[in-house]
Structure 1
Amino acid sequence: MRMILDLSRMLAVPTDLDTLLCKIAEYATQLLHCERASIFLHDPATQQLWTKVAIGSNEIRVPCTAGIVGAAFSGNCMVHVAKPYEDHRFNPEFDRKTGFLTRNLLSVPMADLDGRAMGVVQAVNKKGGAFGEQDESLVRLLAEQAGIALQRHTLQLQAIEALALKHEMDLARRTQQALIPKEPPSVPGLLCAGWTLPASVTGGDCFDLWALPDGRLGILLADASGHGLGPALVVSQARTLVRALSELITDPHELLVHVNARLADDLDWGQFVTAFLGFLSPDGTLQWSSAGHGPLLVRRSPELPLEQLDPPVQPLGVVLKWFDGAPPPVTIEPGGQLILTSDGIFEAADPSGEQMGLERMSEVADRYRRASPEELLGALQKYAKDWSNGEDPLDDQTAVIVQRAAASPS
């Protein structure tokens, strides 16, 4: 009884798993007066039972349905074998290799609080005879406490891992947010605004607005496939490459050619980035290119309807080399707008699953054709949120509005 109480006290406090399992095995041999005891743990990845602790034996691995121990685990029940060599489930190979003689076995699953088996306690060779009812009661009590201790240990590890992951995700989120422009750049005659909302802690979208050395406005909107930490790293790499090369290469299409070559080497198959890159002059001349990104909406002047530009090349990272040339420049008159969004906005779904769609997004843009970029951006945000009934987005949402300042009345 003192041994049971000591074990209960030890199992009630956090301890090293190896130490815990060794102590369980030692107590099992003493309580049951047996020659050996093993603690088999279930490995979900391999669907095996393996001995983290096997007193008197080296490590053993078996399928979780094989042998006596597999029968106890898969059946989630005690298996008492008085004569192993007469039981078809018993594998005598270990005895033949070592010279050990297995006379009897008592195997009991270690279950968590929900009754799910997490492993097996197995006692081997009762000293001076056979395992009796008292041995069965003792090993069942031992297995119950061991199962709860294992569950607590697993939960502790999961909590520690979750805390570490949260720290890493928070760091990644802060790093990504640091790449977002804190305020619009000052370029004479041009107004701009951008916004992004990730679907998880980190997102696969990004945008950037910056003043180029030659006085033009740099405009980038990129969307990596998927969302989360992996795409966030990929899209951040694309943004960094664009910003670095923009000081050396004055043509956006040529710049994207170099970025594509780099990402095609770096990304795994199936990963890609859609991206729009434009350099807008104060006189309204927009040099641009798009690597599979759309929709690209342009209103050349407040009186004209929206036009949709077609991406000239494939997304970044899909093919090593592009063969299509740069698209022709676009001229934006005073009051004209460039509207860029990621698919998370126009694919936002209502409770029935119907998407917001490009047509509705264009209607919002028409109503705000003479508004400031901030006002149009706010209207798009509100419409997408209302359309989704206030639910969090399933995909990252990003929008950039650039407008040429309206001419002053004479």
Structure 2
Amino acid sequence: MPRSINDDERLRRLEAVTDATLSRLDVSDLLDELLDRVRDLLDVDTAAILLLDVHAQQLVATAAKGLEEEVRKGFRIAVGRGFAGRIAAGREPVRITEVTEDDVVNPILLEKGIRSLLGVPIIAERELIGVLHIGTLSRRVFGDDDVALLELVADRAAVAGRIRSAKLDQQAALALQRSLLPTRLPEVRGIELDARYVPGHAAGVGGDWYDVFTLPSGWVGVVIGDVSGHGLASAVVMGRIRSALRAYALICNDPAEALTLLDRKVRHFEAGSLTTALYVMVSPDRSGVLISSAGHLRPVLAEPGRPAALAEVAVDPPLGVGRYGRPRRSTALALPPGAVLFCYTDGLVERRDQVIDIGLDHLVASVRAAPADVVCATVMADAGVEQPSDDVAVLALRRKQ
């Protein structure tokens, strides 16, 4: 028979799993503490949490008490199979009073001698996060109160699961972006280069990027771009676009032609991703540049003895916005000795409370024909972007004297 509990015991159980101190634990400690408490409160021998691997559609043993081997071996089970798989597929609690080989797939449960099982789905915002189950070595009929308490614990576990997933996404995004943003720009004959990247969101990662590469022809490619959005999804798209542009740069002698091919790629393979990009090709003798802009803000050109100004560059539509009726354009500019070409993303100059022209005017006033590292440092200090509301990437290119 299911065991009944009185009001005082019910209150004690409720307080044990809603204790505010749980919120101060990190994810792994929180899951462990929840399992310890549920084993004590329900007087069971085992407790385990399996989180859903969305891509594999498998449940992965993540935390366990009494079934630690399940976690050590990285046990996985497909949604729909076995005890935990049934719970995940049906999204309903499952009680088994007498466990048989037909009920479970995990051999560890049978080897452990589990007689009775109770499991509930872990759900957050209608999405399946995983499964929480408990077991006893003696026969047990789990009652409605047991189910209710386990569902309450599952709610706490859902929060931890979401936090864990978010942290994994953030770590993956950071690793991806760090691998794509060069930690050190290449040494290029006749050119000074310097760059900065400041994330504008707590995730610490977004779709802004810059790139510099030398082509077999002797030309040098300089790219800066911005994929809409933030986090892992934007970083992944950014990585694909960056790699594609490098490939097109090898077969195109005109930046507009490379961006035309890139636009076709974005529209077909990255539908829904809005991307701006500025592709600069520096001539082998460093005396001039070819520039094509796909919806990107014009760079600042500062020549010795002359005030800085936004470069007279044709700006075509961003990548991925639909068919463009006319060919993309490239603009040729002279790059005298000592001249600086300063490229940036919109997070540097856009502010919610002012028109963009104010930010652009302020930027132009900050750029001068000076060493590339001095220009970057000066612009970043003047812009006050220690905590920007959007990602900021800048890259300064200076022709050596």
TM-score normalised by the shorter chain: which range applies? 0.5 to 0.7
SS at match of 1:319: coil
1:403 matched to 2:377: no
Contact 1:299/1:336 (8 A) holds in 2 = yes
2:380 is aligned to: 381
Q: Secondary structure of the residue that 1:317 maps to in structure 2?
A: coil
What is residue 103 of structure 1 aligned with on the other side? none
User: Kindly tell me: are residues 294 and 3 of structure 1, through their superposed partners in 2, closer, same or farther at Cα, counting changes over 3 Å?
Assistant: same
Which of 279, 282, 298 is matched with 1:280 structurally?
A: 282
Deviation at residue 226 of structure 1 after TM alignment:
2.1
Counterparts of 2:181 and 2:255, CA distance in 1: 20
Q: Specify the alignment match of 1:330 in structure 2.
A: 333
Q: CA RMSD in A?
A: 3.2
Which residue does 1:346 correspond to in 2? 349
Measured in 2, the distance between the counterparts of 1:274 and 1:354 equals 19
| Cα pair distance change 1:12/1:263, threshold 3 Å | farther
Q: Which residue of 2 aligns with 1:230?
A: 233
Pick from 39, 44, 47: which aligns with 1:15? 47
Return the TM-score normalized by structure 1. Answer: 0.60
Match of 2:176 in 1: 175
Which residue in the other structure is 1:186 paired with?
187
Is 2:200 the partner of 1:199?
A: yes
Q: How does 1:1-400 map to 2 (within 5 A)?
A: 3-4=4-5, 9-11=40-42, 15=47, 52=93, 149-200=150-201, 201-269=204-272, 271-281=273-283, 282-321=285-324, 323-348=326-351, 357-365=359-367, 369-385=368-384, 390=386, 392-400=387-395
Q: What amino acid does structure 2 have at the position aligned with 1:190?
A: I
Identical aligned residues as a percent? 24
Cα distance change of structure 1 residues 54 and 311 upon mapping to structure 2, 3 Å threshold? farther
Please state how far the C-alpha of 1:323 moved relative to its aligned partner: 1.4
Unmatched 5+ residue regions in structure 2?
14-39, 51-90, 97-142
In 2: Cα distance, 1:362 partner to 1:192 partner:
19
Structure 1 residues 149, 371: CA separation in 2 closer, same or farther (over 3 Å shift)?
Answer: same
Q: Is the 8 A contact 2:207 2:238 kept in 1?
A: yes
- TM-score, with structure 2 as normaliser: 0.62
Structure 1 residues not aligned, in runs of 5+: 19-49, 56-138
User: How many angstroms apart in 2 are the aligned matches of 1:348 and 1:12?
Assistant: 58
Task: List per-residue Cα deviations over 1:371-396 (Å, max 9, x = no partner).
Answer: 211111011222222xx6x5x22111
8 Å Cα contact 2:213-2:222 kept in structure 1: yes
SS of the residue 1:315 aligns to: coil
CA distance in 1, matches of 2:313, 2:251: 26
Aligned residues: 279
Distance across 1 between alignment mates of 2:190 and 2:49:
67
- Distance, in Å, in 2 between the alignment partners of 1:317 and 1:215 is 30
Given that 1:186 and 1:211 are in contact with CA atoms closer than 8 Å, whether structure 2 keeps it comes out as no
Larger Rg: 1
Q: Alpha carbons of 1:11 and 1:348: their partners in 2 closer, same or farther (altered >3 Å)?
A: farther
